Structure 1
């Protein structure tokens, strides 16, 4: 297959056969056949300015990454470089706080490992085991909880070095952290209180919900501040993450979101913007009714455009909000990637690329992490289709 500037000149050939670990690897800092590097490409896209190709990101579960390492003979980092993925996610600060015992996280929430055998692969997840505030009855119980985390529990000294490592390659620096440390609100509240309890609190015990969200918001606002101060202006994008939607609608009403979650959402974005970074937010599900509020808070990029969710068609979202917002995601991980044929994937990528080329302000990626039951051939089809359709101009494949 010819390479038209999307993949590096010496990237492993795209094939369904297992690659040899002796494949050459190109470690240069710019695309082999293009003068545009990732940072220029992404920033131009977010400004809705012309560029050489649609920026690309790659999301996969840990097990899927390992499958691709076996197939390509490349480490995940080498894989991203070889196929000119534009985004890099830094690890962030190291935890140095009190010992975490009994499989507890920084919030005192305990989990257990669930090992799943899926068709085509295995996946391990951490499942909620106990919610430590489940039995709380008063605001005083929330305030008196002994395990509220502190930003002082983290060592921020290595963050600027992590950023420099990415910047040296001309890539875009994204801070995400782990799933519990990326400036969320609703998800940690559900883990702490229990999903049923926190929704009941928001409906009939508002002071309880307000107390929990205030504590969460206080931690993440200070935590983000410390990270971005340590980065010294070198973080390009901060990914916040909170699921506001189910497949067929919002998890909570717009008015409830505005009362309980908008203040924290706006606070997080204010910190991000004050440090010169852009704000990207991950939410699964059908969230179209919330998008005007997200935009008014200053959100730059909405991530996880889930094609199976109600009212989340990429073209419609871009037509309604594309003058104020950019989008990331859109390739189905529920249907096309695990169950479709390579041609199904190719067709979906072509449709997405046509939408993006006509409107701008889009980062190519799957709607969420590619899961371990996805055939390697389908991941290869995804990359090959992006290779063919991801460019702007007359060279784009038909």
Structure 2
């Protein structure tokens, strides 16, 4: 199977990753589909395959991603059930994203599904400890994760002042933020102009990041995807509060633009630290910024174009002038009306392609924008089909989306993270259908 995922010049990729994680080998998973593609046996490494797709070229097969960033992953509970379904024993389920409860896919899982991408973050956890998931199954969490359990079973996290900032209900699946927006109290642009939003990374963090990126690049053939360069609109929502920020955009554009300018400055300063550490090693860099809802953009295209786009373009221009990696945006929802502006601002890869949202028809998107932007995701609907459909409905969905979005300029993954209670047989059917396409 390793020879199918890539054409490694050293040990199989799963063995390389086991050495990185110091995990013991495990029993082999059940047999994946035959690795026959339109071009026969693979002629590209995973890295070459992803770069080709992001460059709007046709690779030897459609690249596949599971867990390359925080919106293409799988919840830890679901991951445990998937491993059991595949007959994979042992190993460690590490939950690296505590809010979304996401597992870090292990080498055998990546190989089993023909995955081509590894994630890379700054300040990745180094020490782990046992934890019990809401369904009672085990995992490991970063050593510094210490939630408090209330009398009703709710798990909460507190800040240094003792205030609850995040909670996981006893019958819930996620930690949801509930803290106060830190800049909600500011009422004028002049006050906002005094705020400094730049928090520099330490030299040790940057050195560790460079060493990690170099090691992954030199010891595997996977594409490397860096997340952590920030966003503009979405970060402003967090700083001001969702409702207040939308009122700022509509009623106080001077204050809104002042905050965005300050945040853009800070994000550029962070990028100036990070990009030299990963240059030549990472093939994709991720910026966030949800701009869509289920039925359309969060703001009018005119508002985006006038207020947000100039700041976004300044940020994107800096990134693209300081890295050879492709610029990837994660923006949920219906963003069809904003795509021309995103492309013009410098975005090269769009994720997730939320196919159940209005105007996000994959055939239409490919016909209208496929020569200008690559699509990463949209391979299977995660709102309806993957969690609730039959195995055959999942396969049919995958075939349609690959037909619409491929063969060039497309990286396959489901629309968003694979959620709790998604049947493992549907997950296997999804990835097997993608490998067989």
Give the TM-score normalised by the residue count of structure 1. Answer: 0.81
Is 1:68 the counterpart of 2:82? The answer is: yes
Tell me the secondary structure at the aligned position of residue 166 of structure 2: strand
Q: CA deviation at 1:80?
A: 1.6
Q: CA deviation at 1:85?
A: 1.0
Is 1:56 the counterpart of 2:64? The answer is: yes
Q: CA deviation at 1:3?
A: 11
Q: CA deviation at 1:238?
A: 0.7
Q: CA deviation at 1:272?
A: 2.6
Tell me the distance in 2 between the aligned counterparts of 1:46 and 1:127: 33
Tell me the secondary structure at the aligned position of residue 280 of structure 1: strand
Q: How many residues align?
A: 359
Q: CA deviation at 1:81?
A: 3.6
Contact 1:10–1:82, Cα closer than 8 Å, also in 2: no
String of CA shifts for 1:86-136, please: whole Å, max 9, x gaps.
1111022469xxx9997459xxx972122464xxxx622232321122222
Within the candidate set 396, 415, 418, 1:367 is matched to 415
The alpha-carbon distance between structure 1 residues 384 and 361, as it changes in their structure 2 partners (threshold 3 A), is same
Tell me the secondary structure at the aligned position of residue 174 of structure 2: strand
Within the candidate set 34, 51, 54, 2:42 is matched to 34
Q: CA deviation at 1:203?
A: 1.3
String of CA shifts for 1:333-373, please: whole Å, max 9, x gaps.
1001111111110110111222234x521111111111112
Q: CA deviation at 1:252?
A: 0.4
Q: CA deviation at 1:69?
A: 4.3
Tell me the distance in 2 between the aligned counterparts of 1:264 and 1:54: 34
Find the counterpart in structure 2 of residue 77 from structure 1.
106
Find the counterpart in structure 1 of residue 267 from structure 2.
220
Question: Gaps (5+ residues) in structure 2?
Answer: 15-23, 30-34, 67-71, 93-104, 126-143, 147-156
Is 1:113 the counterpart of 2:167? The answer is: yes
Within the candidate set 364, 382, 388, 1:339 is matched to 388
Find the counterpart in structure 2 of residue 173 from structure 1.
224
Contact 1:93–1:227, Cα closer than 8 Å, also in 2: no
Within the candidate set 265, 289, 296, 2:344 is matched to 296
Tell me the distance in 1 between the aligned counterparts of 2:367 and 2:332: 20
Find the counterpart in structure 1 of residue 211 from structure 2.
161
Find the counterpart in structure 2 of residue 14 from structure 1.
none
The alpha-carbon distance between structure 1 residues 230 and 7, as it changes in their structure 2 partners (threshold 3 A), is closer
Within the candidate set 290, 295, 306, 1:259 is matched to 306
Tell me the distance in 1 between the aligned counterparts of 2:260 and 2:124: 24
Question: Gaps (5+ residues) in structure 1?
Answer: 12-19, 26-30, 390-398
Q: Which is worse superposed, 34-43 or 248-257?
A: 34-43
Within the candidate set 111, 114, 118, 1:88 is matched to 118
Q: CA deviation at 1:329?
A: 0.9
Q: CA deviation at 1:45?
A: 2.1
